[in-house]
Structure 1
Amino acid sequence: MAIFLLIIAVAVIFVVGWSMWQSWQHTLQDTEKQARNQSVSLSRQAEDTFLQVQITLEDIVRHSDDIFDHPARYLGPQGLLGIQKSRLPQLHGLFVYDAQGNWLATSGRQMYPMANNADREYFIWHRTHNDARVHVGHVIRSRSTNDLIIPVSLRLNDDRGNFRGVVLGTIRVDFFRQFYGYYEMSPKDILGLTHLDATVMYVRPFPDTIINKSMSATPLYRSLLKASPQGGGTWRSPIDGIMRIFGYAQLESYPLVVAVGIDRDMLKSQWLKNNLAIICLNVLLLLTISLFGMLVLRQFRKTVEHRRELMQAQDELTRVNLTLQDLALVDGLTGLGNRRQFDIYLEQCLARSAVTGVPLSLIMCDIDFFKSYNDTFGHVAGDECLRRVADVLKYLPRRSTDVVARYGGEEFAMILPGTPGNEAEKVAERILQAIHNAALPHHASQLPDKIITLSAGISTAVAGDDVTTLKQAADAALYAAKRAGRDCIVNASTLGLRAAPQETE
């Protein structure tokens, strides 16, 4: 009894510990899922933000000839660039530069005649890359306002495809600062936008001094993004050394990544606070159960042992029955369904077709010149040939309701519930093509390719058909295919009658 009580005490500790560990794991999983969902939501917001700017830039590109001819129309807040800029709150400004980097037009209030941006990264990139896609650069400071901005640009080409200039839209970093500020989060939780090359664009709540720092040493850029564009994980932030639960999402159309990080220590403190009463209740409940368990354990032990023996016997009997059933319905040579499985399933499908009116098709296939193959290579090689043909049919893509069986000898059959005759012909074509692709040698074949080929006959059930009629129609079509030269398909509907099977090799 002392040993038993010790076991119960250990079990109580284990169950409570396991329960709390599972609860903590679920909390971590739910938190990671929440972070992933939030990162996906923020990525879509960022996607829309940059897409709006891209659409505006593409519209400016379409009017670039007019801008070069009449730049005055596009200058200033009242110009066409200024009007377009006023429609998008995220925009800091819109600019057009010529091939030398000189300003042609701007949405700003002031034009700088001697201003030149040929030294900017985005300008150099477009000048050296004949790429029509939008380019998102790293965060820079505006030379006109000193604001932190994200450059989004497109290349301008002349009629010959030569570099003509750059169209630039700048997005305010403060736009993301303001938007991310709407979310209620713990003091050490973070929301971040980074470039795909691991460069920081903006991270709340950190100061701007971390902008343009590299996060390449984090698991996010070492492995996670390489495995999936969306996901989550837990790692220590290189910015402040705090362990956080992260969710991330890469933008579909732009080289940007949104990450959401939740402080793990804060989460654990909150979890312990919320579960303190539950821990005490679980301990009390488990102790009570253990007390009553000692009284009835002796009686239950015998009952459980008897039931376990009975269940084991039942499981063994079920396993043996299933094994016998499988053996009774599977062809031992090819591993396909045997003739018995074929007959049972065909009868079931035909009965269902008669009730529902859904079409039922049957394909009968026969290996061409198989008698010559056996006479030339022997029956052992013939069996191997049957197995290899069966493997091709077994792994042929098909629906779960379609059944392939060995009908007998070198003849195979495929039952296609819910398949009309014209679709069955397509399936038969795929079968013959798959056998051709397998290129199994048959030097005794009378066909020029000297490989194993199949002839196929197709029949489709019509009102009043029984199993025998359907099989005879497919057999008649198969032998018609044999007479037509083999390695071909004949549909019974083209024969004009239901022919009885004839003898062949």
Structure 2
Amino acid sequence: MGISTSNMTRAIAQHADDTIKAADTTLVGLVERVQTDGTGPEALRRMHELLVRRVIELPQLQGLFVYDEKGNWLVNALPAMPSNVNNSDRDYFIYHSTHVDPEPYIGLPIRSRSTGAWIITVSRRIEHADGSFAGVALATINMDYFNKFYKNFDIGQHGVIVLGLNNGIMLTRRPLLADTNGKNIANIPLFRDNVAKKASGTIVIVSALDSVRRLNSFRHLEHYPLFVATALSEDEILADWLTDTYLHSTGVGILLIVLSMLGFHLVGQIKQRLNAEAELVRARDALETLNQTLERLALQDGLTGLANRRHFDLALDKEFSRAVREASSLALIMIDVDCFKQYNDIYGHAAGDECLRKISQVIKTNQNRPGDVAARYGGEELGVLLPGTDVRGAMTIAEKIRLEIHNLGIEHTGNSAGVVTVSAGVDAFIPIQNLDNPLELVLAADKALYAAKSSGRDRVCENQSATGPHRSAPEQEPSTIL
């Protein structure tokens, strides 16, 4: 039965982890949208539509909310915005306003001001561009969502399931007691001597709440500061065996018959229960593996390990918007492997793939800042996005990449240099709202790349055709670096 309670605890912990992760993932996107698009009327209208859809899609969500730095409601998933409502007194709001913490905050259980139901709060801090506090994004999870899930488990008349915070605050319990939500159990032996000191475990202990002796299993969540504990009454676990002992007085023959029947039934129930729990764990593991694979494939090029085209396009749009807001320079280097088709024809596609991996590794080592994005743009064409960089800086980085790739000395008899080389095109500008767009930067860098190819390859050229005060090219700089 220790295995049974342990597996049940593992399944319940995974359910809680997945439930909160879905809400937290929504908050990550919501915070990024607020910090990128702002809180103008049109942005809030679109955000409201998104929140309504998300609450419909995720049954665990009671609501989604965004508050400004004073605690006023900006937008939510409700049909209408309540008037004169302020949440600056809430635990989660006070925490984020006083802590510069990028991680999610799981708050104390509270009653919702919009529905009156008990909820669990998951929140993230919103910041202004300078890092100062700008508000809070909040997801509320119905406590009843967990309670309904816990009813699926057979825990007997005296069994218990507990979901709580790592500081000893109980969020919910099956069966529910009058003071369950928010009760501090930090000083009871199960928490003080076991949960607070170990990642997981199983122990027999007498409950401090109802004096029932139980077999307890506990486990901390993998990604969030919560724990789950399940307990089965020792008397209920042994009930069938106590009945058999009592019946022994009626005769050995009756005992053997009854024991065989009960034993067969008990074994069948245990097998069925273990099989169901094992299947749940296998399904969870398969889903987790699939999700990790999809996330990796969605943003990374499988051959080079660089960002893929989708990731590049998202980063370009984001950094372009940032450059417009901050009036800062945005640079792009477009890189193409010289005579790469001939390389594949001479050395084979496997060697061509290995060549691209080595080139990509050089580019990675020159990706010096967190905001820089190196991506495989397509085929043998690569791109390096450099926020806050002018043409001079981008040309320096591009030339460093070109020279390091040349110095790799990868043999290429189909190239006039005798080794694998690259050509690069560079452009940078300070974009102006409604005048420039991200595609212009790509086209300009690509045009410079074409110029590098046309003028002999194995060189770096900057775009010379674009003019205007918002272009960030320095004066009296050479247009080509050999």
The structure with more radius of gyration? 1
Larger helix proportion of the pair = 1
